Amino acid sequence: MNGIRRVIPVITLVLGCTPVAQAALTVHVEPFGPSAEAIQHARTELAASPALKARVQGGEFRVLDLRMISEDHPGAAAVAPTRYSASVFDYTHNRAFTAVGALDRPASISVAASNRPPLPTAEEFEAAVEVIRQNSPFGADLLSGRLGAYPPMPPLEDVAHLGAGHRIVEVGLWPADDRAEHEIVGVDMSDRKVVRYAGGAPPTSRAEPNVCGLPQGNNVAGSGGPTYQVTVMNGTTMVWSMLVTRPLASSATNGSGVELQNVEYMGKHIFDRAHVPILNVKYDADACGPYRDWETSENAFQATGANVNGFMICTTPPQTILEDGTDNGNFTGVAVYLQGDSVYLVSEMSAGWYRYASYWKFDANGTIHPRFGFAAVDNSCVCFVHDHHAYWRLDFDIEGTTNNVVYESKSGPRVQKMTETRVSRISQVMNILPQYWLVSNPATNRGYKILPGPQDGVADAYGRGDLWLLRYHAPPNEELDDYPNPGADTSANLDQYLTGESLDHQHIVVWYAIHSIHDIAHEGMDAGEVIGPDLVPVSW
């Protein structure tokens, strides 16, 4: 099938900015890889394929998630993906499958059983709400508007304690007035029946009259292509070049926010890939959760400008829930904004009642500012103290894939880290010289210094660590999927990749974690928090 790469006019953004070398910065955005239409066509072909029909044996099923397989090509030019992986659930036989296919070879689809229950999609959630409308005592209140439906946490129920073995999609029911009560119910997608829980909520959740968070707002349907080539020019000089994938198409088990590939500064390679594959939350005394969250559900935020098929070229700063304090918006996807000598990439995501914002800021002087924001909308759980944890995976390829080294400096001269290790940040309250890590290429002396942000926190027992320095391994053995099964340990299981391998003149991957404590009862109801490190070029 054709359509692997579309050619449409390149969109260029030129805004008033501080001159750099007597020229204005410009941003060019061009589609890369398969179009949204090609991916949707693959979904249709998969649903009708003999390979899938043979596995579901006439059962009712749903294709829940289809994402392109974005393969690593260290040291080489990016190649548009042609293969995809999809999650399928067979409601009749209560089985999950993983299907792998190729856009240009429809007959090549292979289907295998999976022990990973796929996350619900917006379409499946709405199907669950429709079951409640049609087949439950809550139906009349939903139809009348006395109850509203919302996606809660967890999204799926661990049915072991129910003895059902069916797929149970959770639905929150929020009262619009005092004639109804707050409750979270499960919907058995096989039997089309509503499951009610003792206490009005699943064991790891809460549905109480008291709620905290910002008012839940509207959302808009996502559309457009998944990946774009973004180039920042200073006159005729290329300052930045990178592939940018929006959250709904990002890689890793549960997605990874705004994902970058083949990042170059002034024509020199920095990253093969940079993203946030791990996102989780832990409550004090397990008042709720703990949860492993996902980053593939895009949430609406406010962006003004030219919508280029899922990438908004903004003329004013985009406003996520972290900026405007509301859960409303007109756009889902990635907003690109140029201000002064910096280019911003911004997107907002939802996981149940949590709201997350993924930011990247690129300065003309080569500094990179990864940021992640945490917020929530009305629910009972976030009234309790909880910690959010996010983990960037920075796959460094500084001018080469096999000749990088990494150093650490705590309070004096930097020391080379010779083997894989987990390291800790020193608390910001300690009176010491700034701590940093440096990944560099000894042949050129160019590198990037990782400077912790003042609010990035330090790990507790659940957070596990602050940085992991690892040697890169190509798929399928790379350290990308640390979470084998939903319902398993939700903490970051990165220690399993510490095997004592050399980091001397190697291809190095740095995992950088941030830890954010939310205590609404004592700190008040604010919009949330945005934190992260700075990555500063050295000898560039």
Q: What is the pLDDT of residues 343-375, one digit of tens each?
A: 999 999 999 999 999 999 999 999 999 999 999
Q: Is residue 220 part of a domain?
A: no
- Among 72, 93, 114, where does a domain finish? 114
What is the distance between the terminal CA atoms of the chain, rounded to a whole angstrom?
43
Q: Is residue 512 part of a domain?
A: yes
Q: Is residue 215 part of a domain?
A: no
One domain for residues 51 and 155: no
Which pair of tokens denotes residue 226?
Answer: 């998944």
Alpha helices in 136-256 (DSSP H): 139-144
One domain for residues 190 and 271: no
One domain for residues 91 and 240: no
- Among 87, 114, 141, where does a domain finish? 114
Beta strands (DSSP E) in 235-267 are 237-245, 259-265
Q: What is the CATH number of the domain that holds 63?
A: 3.10.450
Report in angstroms the alpha-carbon separations of 157 from 119, 148, 168, 377, 491: 11, 20, 5, 21, 19
- Asked if 305 contacts 312 with a C-beta cutoff of 8 angstroms, the reply is yes
- Gap between the Cα atoms of 54 and 193, Å rounded: 27
Q: What is the pLDDT of residue 432?
A: 57
pLDDT, one tens digit per residue, over 237-294 is 999 999 999 999 999 989 999 999 999 999 999 999 999 999 999 999 999 999 999 9
Residue 367: CB partners within 8 Å, gap ≥ 6?
A: 534, 535, 536, 537
Determine how β-strand 168-175 pairs with β-strand 183-188. Answer: antiparallel
Identify the CA nearest to 186 among candidates 208, 209, 162, 218: 162
Ranges in the chain, pLDDT < 50: 1-22, 161-163, 431
Q: Is residue 389 part of a domain?
A: yes
- Gap between the Cα atoms of 382 and 516, Å rounded: 13
Q: What is the pLDDT of residue 434?
A: 81
Q: Is residue 217 part of a domain?
A: no
One domain for residues 148 and 81: no
Which pair of tokens denotes residue 22?
Answer: 């007597």
Question: What domain range includes position 275?
Answer: 227-538
- Gap between the Cα atoms of 180 and 149, Å rounded: 13
- Among 86, 114, 142, where does a domain finish? 114
- Gap between the Cα atoms of 270 and 492, Å rounded: 25
One domain for residues 63 and 140: no
Q: Total structural domains in the chain?
A: 3
H or E element in which residue 475 lies: none
Q: What is the dihedral of CA 140, 145, 146, 149, to 10 degrees?
A: 90
Length of the chain counted residue by residue: 540
pTM of full prediction above 0.85: yes
